């Protein structure tokens, strides 16, 4: 394999939780030397979050943390100590990029805001990512991506109706923002390459995530309409939804189906054997008009059938369909498997562990999970020796003083 795109790019990474680590993971999996700076004094809470190896908690046992931190090295510095901040500043000239995802006042309080850092390293690129950005009345709002998904409108558009909200799982906006911040960071690296200029990137998770709800906002500003949730209703597909199939070993199975054109509808009726009962739905208008009755007919026809087999038959006839996969199903999904999505890496403490591979594949310079996530402080010795030329005695002293901690 040839050279990876970001080989030679150095990152000092203070980010924690999801948005920052997922952003720097793109760089790390493609060759950047990303050094995560953590501390036992202020632990990345993902290190304690399940799932855990053998269902036993521990700072080096969380797959949640591990998944977001592949290909990185890890050191520990207790940044509340002045000497730790000095060590960081000594490392700074090595770095091309500094990233952090604390609430805005943290870096300022440490005296490590962009103004200070860029005075030492003028072409530095720095990414600050937080909930609502570095400025404005709500900048210090602490929170997680699940709360951001509520604040930025995703919860509101999730439900069977206005009065029956059903939020998406987890911290949804945590998985929108990193793709935007990664684009910004890579473009900034290239801009620096071309012009010699670094810059500061102020990323609000809120402002990035709203791009995924843009039509709703365009509509509101243009017409004053407030979008309400409609469950599985679609304005251009009917049927459109999830329908319960035969259980498999007492596990419920559903199939998602979306049919638009008349040709898809007629193929669907043949496969489901509902030619007679569904005759009155021959036109799209009729299907859109009485979706409840339509759903009932489809529901009755698929009940008792295998979600997999039905998917295959429908797809063969040109109808969009797929089983509704649960988290167990995902591990035996033939398409994910063929893509090579699931990867097992041998973690220092966790042993062979299940990681997600990349969500894309590149033909010439493929990225890879180059190593499992670092254990807390795993690379203290090698990193401080390499970057700062520290000797073993000094490292030992810093450990004793809980500066390296």
Instruction: Find the shortest distance in angstroms from Cβ 279 to other proteins.
Output: 24
**Tokens 């040109």 map to which residue?**
318
Q: Which of residues 2-41 bind other proteins (CB under 8 A)?
A: 3-6, 18, 26, 30
H-type alpha helices, 3-153:
19-29, 63-67, 82-91, 105-109, 114-120, 145-151
C-alpha 69/C-alpha 278 separation (Å) is: 52
DSSP code at position 238: S
Instruction: Find the shortest distance in angstroms from Cβ 392 to other proteins.
Output: 34
> Is there binding between residue 263 and other proteins (CB under 8 A)?
no
* Candidate list 44, 78, 113, 174, residue with the active-site label: 174
> Is there binding between residue 116 and other proteins (CB under 8 A)?
no
Q: Which stretch binds other proteins (CB under 8 A): 51-59, 275-283, 379-387, 389-397?
A: 51-59
> Is there binding between residue 360 and other proteins (CB under 8 A)?
yes
The dihedral sign for the CA sequence 55, 39, 21, 343 = negative
Judged by CB under 8 A, the residue of 42, 85, 89, 150 near other proteins is 150
> Is there binding between residue 357 and other proteins (CB under 8 A)?
yes
C-alpha 220/C-alpha 223 separation (Å) is: 5
C-alpha 320/C-alpha 313 separation (Å) is: 10
Q: Which stretch binds other proteins (CB under 8 A): 54-62, 274-282, 382-390, 395-403?
A: 54-62
**Which class for 143: exposed (0-12), middle (13-18), buried (19 or more C-beta within 10 A)?**
middle
Q: Are 274 and 297 in contact (CB under 8 A)?
A: yes
Residue count of the chain, please give it.
Answer: 405
Instruction: Find the shortest distance in angstroms from Cβ 394 to other proteins.
Output: 34
CA of 404: how far to CAs of 40, 143, 213, 302, 341, in Å? 9, 28, 43, 60, 36
Quote the longest CA-to-CA distance of the chain: 84
User: Would residue 174 show up in a list of annotated catalytic residues for this protein?
Assistant: yes
C-alpha 292/C-alpha 98 separation (Å) is: 54
Instruction: Find the shortest distance in angstroms from Cβ 190 to other proteins.
Output: 6
Q: Which stretch binds other proteins (CB under 8 A): 33-41, 310-318, 380-388, 394-402?
A: 310-318
Judged by CB under 8 A, the residue of 20, 104, 367, 377 near other proteins is 367
Binding mask 182-201 for other proteins (x = CB under 8 A): xxx-xxxxxx-x---xxxxx
Q: Which stretch binds other proteins (CB under 8 A): 33-41, 85-93, 242-250, 395-403?
A: 242-250
> Is there binding between residue 102 and other proteins (CB under 8 A)?
no
DSSP character string of 63-91: HHHHHTTTT-EEEE--TTSHHHHHHHHHH
> Is there binding between residue 104 and other proteins (CB under 8 A)?
no
Q: By C-beta, is 83 or 356 nearer to other proteins?
A: 356
Hey, which residues are catalytic here? 174
């Amino acid at each position: 394999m040839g050279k990876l795109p970001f080989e030679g790019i150095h990152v000092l990474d203070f980010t924690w939780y999801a948005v920052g680590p997922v952003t720097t993971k793109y760089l790390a999996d493609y060759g950047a030397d990303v050094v995560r700076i953590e501390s036992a004094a202020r632990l990345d809470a993902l290190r304690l979050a399940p799932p855990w190896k053998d269902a036993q908690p521990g700072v080096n046992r969380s797959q949640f943390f591990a998944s977001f931190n592949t290909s990185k090295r890890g050191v520990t510095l207790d940044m509340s100590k002045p000497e730790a901040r000095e060590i960081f500043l000594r490392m700074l000239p090595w770095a091309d990029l500094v990233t952090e995802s604390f609430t805005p006042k943290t870096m300022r309080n440490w005296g490590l805001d962009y103004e200070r850092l860029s005075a030492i390293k003028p072409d530095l690129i720095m990414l600050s990512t937080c909930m609502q950005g570095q400025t404005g009345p709500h900048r210090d709002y602490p929170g997680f991506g699940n709360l951001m998904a509520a604040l930025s409108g995703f919860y509101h558009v999730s439900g069977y109706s206005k009065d029956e909200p059903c939020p998406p799982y987890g911290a949804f906006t945590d998985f929108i923002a990193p793709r935007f911040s990664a684009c910004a960071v890579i473009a900034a690296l290239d801009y620096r390459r071309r012009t010699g200029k670094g810059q500061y990137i102020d990323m609000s998770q809120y402002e990035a995530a709203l791009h995924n709800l843009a039509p709703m906002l365009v509509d509101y500003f243009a017409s004053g309409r407030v979008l309400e949730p409609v469950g599985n209703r679609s304005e251009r597909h009917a049927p459109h939804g999830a329908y319960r199939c035969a259980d498999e070993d007492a596990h419920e199975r559903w199939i998602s189906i979306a049919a638009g054109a008349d040709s898809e509808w007629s193929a669907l009726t043949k496969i489901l054997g509902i030619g007679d009962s569904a005759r009155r739905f021959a036109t799209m208008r009729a299907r859109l008009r009485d979706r409840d009755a339509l759903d009932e007919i489809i529901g009755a026809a698929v009940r008792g059938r295998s979600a997999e087999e039905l998917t295959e038959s429908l797809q063969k006839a040109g109808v969009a369909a797929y089983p509704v996969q649960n988290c167990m199903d995902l591990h035996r999904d033939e398409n994910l498997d063929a893509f090579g999505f699931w990867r097992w890496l041998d973690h220092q403490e966790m042993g062979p562990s299940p990681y997600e591979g990349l969500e894309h594949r590149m033909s010439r310079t493929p990225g890879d999970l180059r190593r499992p996530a670092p254990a807390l402080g795993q690379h203290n010795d090698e990193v401080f020796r390499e970057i700062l030329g520290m000797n073993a005695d000094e490292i030992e002293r810093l450990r004793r003083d809980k500066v390296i901690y």
